[in-house]
Amino acid sequence: MINKTLFNSITMPYLTSSQTECLKWLALITMIIDHIGVAFSNAYPALSWCRVIGRFSYVAFGFIIALNLSRDKVNFKSYFTWMIATAFLSEISFTLFEPNYDRLNVLFQFLSVIGVIWVYKNRQDLNSWVMFLGLGFFIILSALSDYGLPGLLYCIGCYLFLQTKDTQYHLITMLTCVLLALFVNHSFIDNFGETIVETVSVVAVVIGTMIFILHPKGLRQCNLSISRMPKAFFYLFYPVHLTIIVGIKYIFIS
C-alpha cells in the first residue's frame, strides 16, 4: 500500500513570488561564481572550486523556466521575444568569454525549452507537419546549445513534475528530475572529478540543489519578502556580467 500521506507531503505547489525571486537571485549569484571559475581557474587553480558551486545555477534556472511555463496563462509571445533578443545579444559576450567553445550560449537552450513546451501546449491546434518541424527545430537548437540535449530533458522533466497531479507518480517524477540534473552535469563530473572528493562534491551540490528546490522544508520554507526584479535586469544580467568578466580578465591577465 502506498503511503499517500508521504506523497502529499512532498507535493510541490507553485512557489510564491518571493520564493521564486529568492531562487532567481541564488541562481544569478552562483552563475557569477561559476563564470569566475571558468575565466580565472587556469591562472588561479584554487578557483576551480567555483565551478562546483556553479552547478547550482543551471539546475535552478531550468526549474524556474519550467515553473514559469507551468502557470495557467503563459505569454509565449513575450517570452519568445525577450529570450530571442537576449540570446542573440548574449552570443557576442559569450563568444568573447569562451572563444574556443563550439556551442551556443545557454539562453538558446532555454529558448528551445520554451519552444518545445509551446508546441506541446498547442498540439491540438497545430498541423502535424508544423508540430513535427517545430519540435525538430527546437531539439536541434538544444543540441547545439550549452548543456545540449540533457539540458532540455532536465527542464522538460521539471515541467512534467510540476504538471503531475497524481500523487502516486509525483515521487517518480521528482526522482527523475534529480537523475536528469545529474545527467546534465555528467560531462562536468567526468572532466572535473579527478578524485573521489571532487566527484562527490559535484554530486552533492547537484543533489543538494534539488533537495533545496523540491523538499517542503527547503526553499518553500523561505518567508522573506523579495520584490520582483525588473524583467530587463533579469534578461540583460547574463550578457552584461559576461562582458564585465571578460574585461577584468583582459585587464589583469591577458
pLDDT digits 0-9 by tens, 1-46: 444 444 444 444 578 899 999 999 999 999 999 999 999 999 999 9
Q: Are 9 and 215 in contact (CB under 8 A)?
A: no
Residue 3 is assigned to a structural domain of this protein: no
Q: Give the closest residue to 143 by CA, choosing from 116, 172, 176.
A: 116
Three state DSSP letters for 51-88 = HHHCHHHHHHHHHHHHHHHCCCCCCHHHHHHHHHHHHH
Residue 10 is assigned to a structural domain of this protein: no
Residue 64 is assigned to a structural domain of this protein: yes
Domain residues for 161? 15-252
Q: Give the closest residue to 112 by CA, choosing from 78, 60, 149.
A: 149
Residue 5 is assigned to a structural domain of this protein: no
Residue 212 is assigned to a structural domain of this protein: yes
Q: What is the pTM of this model?
A: 0.91
d(CA 38, CA 44): 10
250 pLDDT band, cuts 50/70/90, is very high
| Per-residue pLDDT reduced to its tens digit, 96-127 | 999 999 999 999 999 999 999 999 999 999 89
Residue 122 is assigned to a structural domain of this protein: yes
Q: How many CB atoms lie within 10 A of CB 73?
A: 4
Residue 2 is assigned to a structural domain of this protein: no
